[in-house]
Structure 1
Amino acid sequence: MKTKKRLRPHRLQIFKDIGGRPFAFTAGASFALLLLVWSLLSYTEAVNPVFLPKPHEVLLELIHQLGTATYWHHIGISLFRVTSGFVLACIIGIPIGIFAGTFKFGEAFVEPPMEFIRYMPAVAFIPLIMVWAGIGEWAKILLIFIGCFFQLVLMVADNTRRVSHDLLQASFTLGAGRWKAIETVLIPAIQPQLMNTLRLVLGWAWTYLVVAELVAVNSGLGFAIMKAQRFLNTDQIFVGIIVIGLLGLISDRIFAFLNRRLYPWA
């Protein structure tokens, strides 16, 4: 009697979970592939070493830089600028986004100018920022704020509109007023998706860091990258880029962890 052969699940099924270990292995393999391509191009000198340093040279430079107090100062000041611009955008943008997503009047009043301004590159605001805020720390924070704020408002408004209307109707049926429904139903309902939105916006904040640190600075990771570029120290440029990427990845994982712990049902 023949037994039926058990078929293994296909890895490319739409929306199908592949499990923790296969996911981690695949993620690691993608990084290994990038490293392999980089190694092939650099060790064979298919690309001029001046423009593409070898991986071990970048690793040695990374270890050297992290062993200096100066580089940790660059990291600290960049963290401060990104965090300040991001938090400021959240404090102002989240309430405005909830207002725009909750009320049609708010949508009509808020979203058209937000849609208009969000297509303007944040870099174009640098001359105005220097006029408004000078060339101190506020100028860098304000540029990161501008890069995050308008997108955040629109995304929070969209999160708010996605809340089930049945939940709101149920709260009204139970006697809740308008503001009580917003406080006890609407705001708690958007929190899991809001956490994902904040993860995305924080990623944008990191991408604006180097641009923000072009404005009359003598510290920060962006400054270190620009300084290395003047002397064609591409290994130091790679170190700066990698450190920014690692900091962004760590902050993203913190948000993902908090989302799983605070909202496991989502």
Structure 2
Amino acid sequence: MEKVLKNEEVVKQPPLRPVPKNQNRKPPRNHKWFQPQGDIPHKTYVAISISSILLLFALWSLLTYSGLVDPLFLPTPTDIFQSGIILFTEYGFIGDISITVYRVLVGFAAAAIIGLPLGILMGTFKPVEAFFEPIISAIRYMPASAFIPLFILWIGVGELEKVTIIFVGTFFSLVLMTAVEVGNVRKELLEAAYTLGRSNFGVLRSVILPASIPGIMEIIRLILGWAWSYIIVAELVASSSGIGSLILESQRMLKTGNIIFGILTIGVLGLLSDLILKVAIRKAFPWHYGR
């Protein structure tokens, strides 16, 4: 009897399947490199970034040192470096840099001081959004450079005109993007705050602002990059100082090396400001980025 039961049990057991050959293999180390939103080691990230810059520099050197491109249109890296030395030693280029940085920071700071509170109120209270959004949305699509003749007519060609161009070029987008970020705060958090007895402004202070500040800081970082692009527009018109003015004067004298060096300087300044904000944001809000 026991033998019969044992035979039945043996028959009921599922047959063993062979283990696939590739099942026990470990995934390659770089299997997550091209995974959507996957992470890579920091050293690898830096190495890839540096390689892209070196590749661009190698292509530039190949085109210029080989004579494939006329130096009038694209000077060699050596000529650009020499132009930079001349600008710093003979033309006081450091003064132009300081003036340009001052204009960008003042214009953007004014836009942030006024635009951030307005954007927060628009994203929080629908009546405020309904009142301001049509006007701000319409003006946002008007290029800041189109206002230059009016600014010259209204406020002249002094420093205020340059700062105002930076302000107009960044203010309206900053307001709308901040409003969208604030409006995307999860409704469950608001309902939980109301359940705990918070008032309307209490919810704004204790829930909406803490939840949206990391995103608002990323918006500030993005819009600051736009401010660096608008400074050239501001300084190309009726300006006797700044990097934009130097670029315009170099264009009249066909000094391509000075033009490219001025453009590269703007790019380096913008990159430095972006990196500073990026590091500061991740240090201030490590819980938001999971690091």
TM-score relative to the length of structure 2: 0.87
Segments of structure 1 that go 5 or more residues without pairing to the other structure are none
Q: What letter corresponds to residue 214 of structure 1 in structure 2?
A: L
Superposed CA offset, 1:176-214 (max 9, x none): 100111112211221111111001100000000110002
1:226-265 mapped onto 2 (5 Å cutoff): 226-265=248-287
Deviation string 1:19-46 (CA, Å, 9 cap, x unpaired) is 2011111111111111112111111222
- Do residues 145 (structure 1) and 176 (structure 2) align? no
CA RMSD of aligned residues (A): 1.5
1:196 equivalent among 203, 210, 218: 218
Q: Does 1:9 align with 2:9?
A: no
Is residue 60 of structure 1 aligned with residue 86 of structure 2? Answer: no
Where do 1:10-49 residues align within 5 Å? 10=31, 11-49=33-71
Q: Which amino acid aligns with 1:8?
A: R
Checking the alignment, whether the CA contact within 8 Å between 1:84 and 1:141 is kept in structure 2 is yes
Aligned-partner Cα distance in 2 for 1:69–1:51: 23
In structure 2, distance between residues paired with 1:251 and 1:148: 16
Q: Describe the shift of the 1:163–1:57 C-alpha distance in structure 2 as closer, same or farther (beyond 3 A).
A: same
Matched residue SS, 1:8: coil
Please list, as runs of the form range in 1=range in 2, the aligned pairs for 1:128-207 lying within 5 A after superposition: 128-207=150-229
Query: What are the superposed Cα offsets for residues 145-193 of structure 1, whole Å, 9 maximum, x if unpaired?
Result: 0000111011000110111112222221111100111112211221111
Aligned identity (percent) is 45
Q: 1:31 to 1:5 in 2, by over 3 A?
A: same
State whether residues 140 and 215 of structure 1, in contact with CA within 8 Å, keep that contact through their aligned partners in structure 2.
no
Task: Assess if the C-alpha contact under 8 Å between 1:101 and 1:160 holds in 2.
Answer: yes
- Structure 2 regions of 5+ residues with no counterpart? 1-20
Instruction: Please list, as runs of the form range in 1=range in 2, the aligned pairs for 1:85-100 lying within 5 A after superposition.
Output: 85-100=107-122
Other structure's SS at 1:216 match:
coil
Structure 2: how far apart are the matches of 1:171 and 1:69? 60
Query: How far did 1:127 drift?
Result: 0.9
The 1:194–1:5 alpha-carbon spacing in structure 2 relative to 1, beyond 3 Å, is closer
Q: Distance in 2 between matches of 1:5 and 1:165?
A: 43
Counterpart pick for 2:237 among 215, 220, 226: 215
2:119 is equivalent to residue 74 of structure 1? no
Structure 1 position 6, deviation (Å)? 4.6
Deviations along 1:109-135, one digit per CA (max 9) or x if unpaired, are 122222211111111000111122111
Residue 117 of structure 1: aligned partner: 139
- Rounded to whole Å, the distance in 2 between the matches of 1:62 and 1:188 is 45
- Give the structure-1-normalised TM-score: 0.95
Residue 69 of structure 1 deviates from its aligned partner by: 7.0
Structure showing greater radius of gyration is: 2
Q: Does the Cα contact within 8 Å between 1:75 and 1:220 map onto a contact in 2?
A: yes
Residue type matched to 1:9 in 2? Answer: N
**Secondary structure in 2 matching 1:208:** helix
